[in-house]
């Protein structure tokens, strides 16, 4: 058996198929047609000399050879990425790549911090993924990025965690809500209110559910949405209350569409975390960006920067 005819392009494509186990979705991620991806996988199987997947009904499964090729491909790609980083570091901090994945709520904060970082280090290339928590954890397990930004520390994984900034959660209501403008609202007055929550597994939703449970509230969940913007628009439309990160409201200060309720126990103080696998050797670029995040958090704590709005 020889693998000399296997190409790097095929080795990059196969782990995507192995992750989705769906030719169409994998092809979409790779910006290929399903037919083109199918040809690549077939050619890789021919180079290996064994089938890499099998179709049972409408479902696709990896063969044992496919699982071995998937693991080896990811190892090869990881080593090549590390080689690129090592070579860049021989040229100093002003060259190299920073790969960051973050949960969607962090898009209201982290791109600004990345922008500041890149203005100081303009030669650094940034690859940024904005995805949901489940996808973040999948990428973390696969060690696909340098750093992972999230609002809740992953459980059951061997990781290094750096807290870098507060992430207060607020109770959002339509501007004309009866509780708007009242002081120290008793949580019991939320009983019977309609709520719009983020999707299951969201750190924001989990924090809200912990609050409800601690006060023995049974919220009426009117809608579950996977987007902060959709949640805000639904609140503005009078469909219910919501618990959101204050950072998500940074561009809504002047809209007049919302009120932040002064509910006892709010804001719920959470944090932003930068996470990476235990034992991972961080590049100089990654370590410097972690220092940048820590400095931004220290500035926020000192009141030198205001990342949250006042509605």
CATH of residue 156's domain is 3.40.190.10
Q: pLDDT of 250-273, one tens digit each?
A: 666 566 778 899 999 999 988 999
- Domain range holding 230? 167-269
pLDDT at 139 over 80: yes
End residue of a domain, out of 29, 47, 75: 75
Residues 174, 225: one domain? Answer: yes
Considering only residues 91 and 231, tell me which one the structure prediction assigns the higher pLDDT: 231
Q: Are 276 and 149 in a shared domain? A: yes
- pLDDT score for 90: 58
Mean model confidence pLDDT for the chain: 86
- Taken in order 70, 75, 79, 81, is the CA torsion positive or negative? positive
Q: What is the pTM of this model?
A: 0.65
- Who wins on pLDDT, 110 or 3? 110
* 197-251 pLDDT per residue, tens: 988 878 888 889 999 999 998 888 888 888 888 999 899 888 999 999 888 886 6
Residue 93: pLDDT above 70? no
Q: Is the pLDDT of residue 311 over 70?
A: no
pLDDT per residue over 159-211, tens digit each? Answer: 999 999 999 999 999 988 999 989 999 999 998 899 999 888 788 888 899 99
85 in a structural domain:
no
- Same domain assignment for residues 51 and 124: no
**Residue-level pLDDT at 262:** 93
Nearest to 44 by CA among 76, 5, 92, 1: 5
> Same domain for 49 and 107?
no
pLDDT of residue 58: 84
The total domain count for the chain is: 3
Let me know whether 149 and 70 are in one domain.
no
Compute, in degrees rounded to 10, the torsion defined by CA atoms 29, 31, 34, 38. -90
Residues 250 and 122 occupy one common structural domain: no
- Asked if residue 62 has pLDDT above 90, the reply is yes
133 inside domain: yes
């Amino acid at each position: 058996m020889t693998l000399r005819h296997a190409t790097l392009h095929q080795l990059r494509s196969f782990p995507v198929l192995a992750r989705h186990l769906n030719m169409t979705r994998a092809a979409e991620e790779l910006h290929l047609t399903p037919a083109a991806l199918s040809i690549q996988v077939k050619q890789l199987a021919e180079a290996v000399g064994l089938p890499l997947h099998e179709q049972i009904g409408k479902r696709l499964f990896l063969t044992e050879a496919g699982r071995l090729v998937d693991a080896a491909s990811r190892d090869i790609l990881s080593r090549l990425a590390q080689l690129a980083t090592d070579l860049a570091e021989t040229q100093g901090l002003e060259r190299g790549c920073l790969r960051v994945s973050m949960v969607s709520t962090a898009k209201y904060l982290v791109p600004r911090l990345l922008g500041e970082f890149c203005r100081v280090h303009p030669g650094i290339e940034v690859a940024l993924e904005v995805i949901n928590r489940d996808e973040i954890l999948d990428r973390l397990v696969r060690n696909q990025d340098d750093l992972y930004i999230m609002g809740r520390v992953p459980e059951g994984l061997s990781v290094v965690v750096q807290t870098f900034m507060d992430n207060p959660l607020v109770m959002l209501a339509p501007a004309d809500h009866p509780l708007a403008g009242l002081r120290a609202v008793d949580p019991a007055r939320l009983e019977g209110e309609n709520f719009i929550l983020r999707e299951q597994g969201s750190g924001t939703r989990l924090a809200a559910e912990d609050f409800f449970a601690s006060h023995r509230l049974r919220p009426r969940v009117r809608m579950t949405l996977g987007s902060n913007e959709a949640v805000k628009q639904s609140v503005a439309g009078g469909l219910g209350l919501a618990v959101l990160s204050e950072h998500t409201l940074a561009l809504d200060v002047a809209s007049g569409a919302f009120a932040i309720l002064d509910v006892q126990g709010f804001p719920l103080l959470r944090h932003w975390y930068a996470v990476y696998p235990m034992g991972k050797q961080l590049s100089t670029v990654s370590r410097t960006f972690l220092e940048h995040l820590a400095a931004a958090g220290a500035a926020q704590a000192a009141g030198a920067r205001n990342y949250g709005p006042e509605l």
